[in-house]
Structure 1
Amino acid sequence: MIAEVDTGTTTTARRTVITLLQRLRSPQGVADPLPIYDDLRAQGDLVPAPWGGYLATGFDICNEILRDRNWLVPDLAWQERNADTDRWRAPATQEMSRTLSRLNAPAHHLQRRSLGQLFDRHTLQALASQVEADVTGLLDDLAGRMHECGTGDLATTVSERLPISTIGHWLDIPSGDWPHILEITHNQVHAQELLPTRRQLAVSAEATVHLQKYFTDLVRERRRRPGDDVLSRWIRTWDELEPDRAAADRTLYELTMFITIASLETTATLLSTMVWHLVRTPGLWGRLRAHPEHVDAAIDEALRFDPPVRLNTRVAGLDTILSGVHIRKDSMVHILYGAANHDPRRNPDPHTFDVLRKGANLTFGGGAHYCLGAALARLEAHALLRQMLERFPTLRAVRPPVYAPRMVFHRVTSLEMAA
């Protein structure tokens, strides 16, 4: 890490950043981070972090980091070279660091190639009818709750259930197991917070044990009774790539577990926040209902305005200069997706939710680690929004969303709606 000279100016700047980060982690900051993004960006495109490393706030600099191959993810090799032992050696962190999102070349390239075009047009077409049917059934449940109680919780009734239903059907995971997978996924992501507490790491460690057992057993059972499903095809692929059966099964467990849990919370949050921002903007729900051709543009704006993942981390693969700052090899840079998406130099009037904006966003990342499930998330969002516009012409939020107390993986735990 780069050492800081503790001058008066540096101390003042450090205190300012600490205060801004405390605000970002507060309930108010979780619910509405936009003023804090502005204040952080006012400190510069690259802001020194109090614990070492930097916070990247500008769109262009974040885009450069995501796409430049010299910026790496903090993999196990990097973790072994750094001293934050409580966090990096925690069981949940170690386990996730073996999955696709925390691999660098060449291991990352090998796993990505083994998956092929994961959600190509053919796959999405095959999934579309199931997604539409699932949306219809879940909205039936929501409508029933609204009829019976006057309100219904979009987050718990629809948003959280649609992604697990989609990925569960695709991987042929028994539907009776879906609630268990959701629960342990919610607990596991604590380890991926920016500065997780010991309690959060302990909760994540317990969830990781359950995830490991469940998906290891799933791979073992599918190997015993292979079919024409996705996991069975991956098993055949990795048996050709890896002669060591135990190593192949370990990779298959990591891939299946990662793709499953990565598809859940992020998409669920997108579905809830998308509807929330549409109904909270006066007249917008009705205008979009009259012009459904703008549904995809509305999804893009929801992704820009309120990204489900608010922060990600890269490390310098070599000494470099970034925004005029000398960055040493292995230094961390934290990409603030929300701040970048609201950079007025790229998206004018960024705090206005405008479905006709045609703006730019980095919500799905970029470069080698561009989100594998981006097209699937869009498919689910499109199906849900189109059907909701048709079925609930006077939809409104009863109260603002309730959020989990997290800074990185944004999660809506409740969103009460009425029609």
Structure 2
Amino acid sequence: MTAVGDMSETVIDRRAVISVLRRLRTPEGQADPFPLYEELRTMGDVVPAPWGGYFITGFDTCDQVLRGRNWIVPDFAWQERQRDTERWHAPATQEMSRTLSRLNAPAHTCQRRSLGNPFDRATVAGMQPEIEEHVARLLDALEDELRTAGTADFVGTVSEQLPIVTVGRWLGIPATDYAHILDFTHRQVHAQELLPTKSELAISEEATADMRAFFTDLVSSRRARPGNDVLSGWIRHWDGQLPGDRETADRMIYQLVMFLTIASLETTATLLSVAVWLLLDEPARWQWLRHHPEHVDDAVEEALRYDPPIHLNSRVAADDTVLAGVPIAKDTMVHVMYGAANHDPRRNADPHTYDILRKGTHLTFGGGAHYCLGAALARLEARMLLTALLKRFPTLRLASAPSYAPRMVFRRVTSMKVTA
């Protein structure tokens, strides 16, 4: 019997799943989704989604999907077989489907090899002095705002700025363009949500046009005036790979620079905001870490586990298979829930407690062929920011709780007021 024929044996109250999903979209659910993930996980490691497909909630099961060769990302070939043509043919969705995150082998292998390891140990070490300078300037701005107004929005002043300054300088993008990049990144991400509405897809379509125009012009300008920067290196690589086919080469370069830029912004900014929030939420943690700075890396890892920047990602069954005892048919989409997996008590005891010394495990950077390229850089930015903050602002404290964008996939802290 095929996996399709066996699916009727799975019986879960559809209304209970819908109730959890509705509550996850509320401000309360955004602020603290983990009890709701726990509620979903009590239904099983593999929970049927109301619209078809499955939510994957358990750590080991999520890890199996992320690393398994019989699980692929929903690429163009898969999209063409779907009935929901409006969603998958939307311009914003199509644009992101050309990036590394939505490519399977051999296309993924080809693009991935062209990058090598963009953030290897030597590269990250070389970026450290410049990131230290970026942090110092941003904390100068934070100090000025605190002195003038008494409170400051940590997100707008620091955590959203550090990633764009870091990647912008790395790629040689002028600082005058940073605000524009952040703007279309925030708008484009709607297309990557779980169930985007028509209005959200329209917003993403407009943002995609802005994004395409910007990065196309960036590649053209750099081609006209190449240097020793990373982007110029990609241009030389793809010109060598595709001699006489500049149009295809430029398309490949555009996809790489666009993806690496926007993928490094909101995710890292969320990590920075969450790491600071979790420490300030219990002032004793802030003071303890000030006196034990050797555990800054542990604090970063626990922040990554506790509230990952991406709470959900999707994979597709490449063949009929069985997952945690549940038959899954070929082409069925499953939603890997990083946030739920990281809080699985079978993997991390007392998971809803933020414990700097936990030494726990998490799936925040994914796994397998699609493991996050920027993991080392994100960790470095978080380490350097926390280290400098702890030294410079010993009495820093929260003035208001974080506010979140209403999303289920990409977490974004939109505001977090601090005082000192």
| TM-score bucket of the superposed structures, by smaller chain | over 0.9
The amino acid across from 1:224 in the alignment is A
**Who is 2:335 aligned against?**
334
Q: 1:259-274 residue pairs with structure 2 within 5 A?
A: 259-274=260-275
Question: Alpha-carbon deviation of 1:4?
Answer: 9.4
Distance 1:69 1:28 in 2: 37
Task: Report SS of the residue matched to 2:13.
Answer: helix
Question: Alpha-carbon deviation of 1:281?
Answer: 2.1
Residue range with higher mean Cα deviation, 122-131 or 329-338: 122-131
Provide Cα deviations, 1:358-386, integer angstroms capped at 9, x if missing partner. Answer: 00000000000000000010110011000
Check whether the contact 2:365–2:372 (CA below 8 A) recurs between aligned residues.
Answer: yes
Distance 2:191 2:52 in 1: 19
**Who is 2:316 aligned against?**
315
Residue range with higher mean Cα deviation, 233-242 or 339-348: 233-242
Please give the TM-score of this superposition, normalised by the length of structure 1.
Answer: 0.98
Q: 1:73-112 residue pairs with structure 2 within 5 A?
A: 73-112=73-112
Are 2:147 and 1:131 aligned? no
Are 2:144 and 1:181 aligned? no
Provide Cα deviations, 1:150-206, integer angstroms capped at 9, x if missing partner. Answer: 111110000000000000000000110000000000000000000000000000000
Provide Cα deviations, 1:324-361, integer angstroms capped at 9, x if missing partner. Answer: 11111110010010000000000000000000000000
Q: 1:63-74 residue pairs with structure 2 within 5 A?
A: 63-74=63-74
Task: Report SS of the residue matched to 1:321.
Answer: strand
Please give the TM-score of this superposition, normalised by the length of structure 2.
Answer: 0.97
**Who is 2:303 aligned against?**
302
**Who is 2:367 aligned against?**
366
Distance 1:242 1:171 in 2: 22
Task: Report SS of the residue matched to 1:141.
Answer: helix
Distance 2:367 2:24 in 1: 24
Distance 1:68 1:121 in 2: 27
Distance 2:359 2:121 in 1: 23
Provide Cα deviations, 1:201-237, integer angstroms capped at 9, x if missing partner. Answer: 0000000001101101111111111100000000111
Gaps of 5+ in 2: none
**Who is 2:206 aligned against?**
206
Check whether the contact 2:300–2:383 (CA below 8 A) recurs between aligned residues.
Answer: yes
The amino acid across from 1:240 in the alignment is G
Total equivalences in the alignment: 417
The amino acid across from 2:41 in the alignment is R
The amino acid across from 2:39 in the alignment is D
Distance 1:261 1:401 in 2: 22
The amino acid across from 2:164 in the alignment is I
Distance 1:129 1:296 in 2: 18
The amino acid across from 2:136 in the alignment is T
Are 2:294 and 1:293 aligned? yes
Provide Cα deviations, 1:50-108, integer angstroms capped at 9, x if missing partner. Answer: 01010000000000000011100000110001111121111000000000100000010
**Who is 1:389 aligned against?**
390
**Who is 1:252 aligned against?**
253
Question: Alpha-carbon deviation of 1:395?
Answer: 1.1
Question: Alpha-carbon deviation of 1:126?
Answer: 1.6
Distance 1:126 1:5, change over 3 A: closer
Question: Alpha-carbon deviation of 1:122?
Answer: 1.4
Question: Alpha-carbon deviation of 1:2?
Answer: 5.0
Distance 1:2 1:195 in 2: 24
**Who is 1:414 aligned against?**
415
Task: Report SS of the residue matched to 1:283.
Answer: helix
Provide Cα deviations, 1:383-416, integer angstroms capped at 9, x if missing partner. Answer: 1000000011111101100111111111011110
Check whether the contact 1:2–1:331 (CA below 8 A) recurs between aligned residues.
Answer: no
Check whether the contact 1:270–1:308 (CA below 8 A) recurs between aligned residues.
Answer: yes
Provide Cα deviations, 1:294-328, integer angstroms capped at 9, x if missing partner. Answer: 00000000000000111000000111111111111
Distance 1:122 1:380 in 2: 15
Check whether the contact 1:281–1:353 (CA below 8 A) recurs between aligned residues.
Answer: no
The amino acid across from 2:178 in the alignment is W
Check whether the contact 2:320–2:329 (CA below 8 A) recurs between aligned residues.
Answer: yes
Question: Alpha-carbon deviation of 1:283?
Answer: 0.5
- % of aligned pairs identical? 63
**Who is 2:220 aligned against?**
220
The amino acid across from 2:116 in the alignment is G
Distance 1:66 1:98 in 2: 20
Distance 1:3 1:215, change over 3 A: farther
Check whether the contact 1:119–1:373 (CA below 8 A) recurs between aligned residues.
Answer: yes
Distance 1:231 1:139 in 2: 29
Check whether the contact 1:20–1:39 (CA below 8 A) recurs between aligned residues.
Answer: yes
